[in-house]
Amino acid sequence: MSTNELQVGGMRSATREHFEYLVATLSKRTAGKKYENYVINAIWNALGDETLKPVTQQHVNRRVRQRGLALVDLRQEVARSESVQRALIDLYFPSLHLGVECDEAGHYENDARISDQERTRDIRRAIQDYEEIRVSVEVDENNVALSPKDVLYQIDSAVAAIRERKRQVEDGLFDWAPAGRLEWKSSKPDWQLAMDAGVLTAGDGLLFKHNGEIRELFGLGDGTGKKYNTFVTNFNIVDSTDVVWCPKLAKEDIEGNLSTDNTSGYLNWIIPDGNEILIGEAAATVESKLHRLEAASANIRPLPSWEYALPVQELRRRRETADWQAPENPEMVTGDWESARRITFVKTKDSVGRVGFQFLGVFTPVIGYREANGISFRVCKLISETFNLPRKGTA
């Protein structure tokens, strides 16, 4: 390799943002997992491609049928380990729809093989054209011990497969990625990247630090992404019947009880219903709101979630009420939240621990009611995982 190639290739021209991200994702996210840590770092160091952004322990919600939404880590489950509800891809390249799994000896036991097959099936449903590479580190599929040379050969093969997949993506072989050179953009904040793209997509990995950055997307900021009023998260869009909704999801304890710490006392909860995704909202009772004020001043715990319970007559009415579909073109006064589509962002945490809001999708106005965790929620239904942002001058 020539001196010029060394200067241009690999990570030689990576930014500080690249470096800090890599330090976080290649160390902290694999801490305590010695084989996984070695394989992932060996692959990345051999790959050394500054155009590819790696993600370790990529969350995939196995229950969700919608592709993009399955990649948004809503952090509602208490456990962070894998389960029938979630998968965590050891090493994932979002721009390639490719994942690498590190298999220890336990993966080749009969039950584990079946579980791995089911897990891969769920991930492929969540990620279009998903390609999976598996690296065995202790024994092969016949339970024969592997030498270090065998493991290193698999790592070399994985690197070659990643490079080939990149070539295919850049050649335009997949409809989810335009042809052209890939680029890992880290010099701009995520809200500017979203505006450059002109579209929001659930699971795109973009994280908005606060409502000020979200307002920029709709032409309501000052151009700097400065934080807006902490207590005014939701807002109307100029010359649009849509509204922007930023619900803060409730917390769940080990006993399944929900609690909220948002200023209005609302419980917001994601409710999978068959192949549909709903967001439920339950308003606090007058009594619980008063108690929250007293609790805050006395520094004691607010009311538990069961205080959101409704009178028996109201619960019966809700259970007997059929869902209604929101009209396609509602005639409404701007700002009427009861009949507006909701462009929805939820507060979450990304793969390297950044806290902020992710785009979840476009939801209907309230269409009916559902009960979850013993609480009756008004619910909105997901209707789109993408939203085209207004161009400058057209908001």
Per the listing, tokens 């994985």 go with 158
Q: Which domains does the chain have, with CATH numbers?
A: 3-170 (3.40.1350), 190-388 (no CATH)
- Which of these ranges, 85-99, 165-179, 263-277, has the smallest mean pLDDT? 263-277
Place of tokens 């000020």: 212
Of 99, 79, 103, 80, residue with least CA distance to 89: 99
CB atoms within 10 A of CB 66: 21
Of 36-45, 83-92, 119-128, 256-265, the poorest mean pLDDT is in 256-265
pLDDT in tens, 33-81: 788 889 999 999 999 898 999 999 888 888 766 666 677 766 554 445 6
pLDDT, one tens digit per residue, over 316-361 is: 999 998 887 665 544 443 446 778 899 999 887 766 667 889 999 9
Task: Determine phi and psi for 194, rounding to 5 degrees.
Answer: -65, -40
Which residues are registered as beta bridge partners of 55?
Answer: 92
pLDDT mean over 224-228: 84
CA distance 241 to 243: 7
From residue 303, alpha-carbon distances to 1, 264, 281, 294, 309 in Å are 67, 13, 17, 10, 12
pLDDT score of 143 more than 60? yes
249: pLDDT confidence band, cut at 50, 70 and 90?
A: confident
What is the pTM (predicted TM-score) of this model? 0.72
Q: Which residues pair with 259 in a beta bridge?
A: 251
As a residue count, the chain comes to: 395
Extract the tokens encoding 393: 């001058």
Q: What is the mean pLDDT of residues 176-182?
A: 87
Q: What is the pLDDT of residue 59?
A: 84
Query: Comparing 201 with 232, which gets the higher pLDDT?
Result: 201
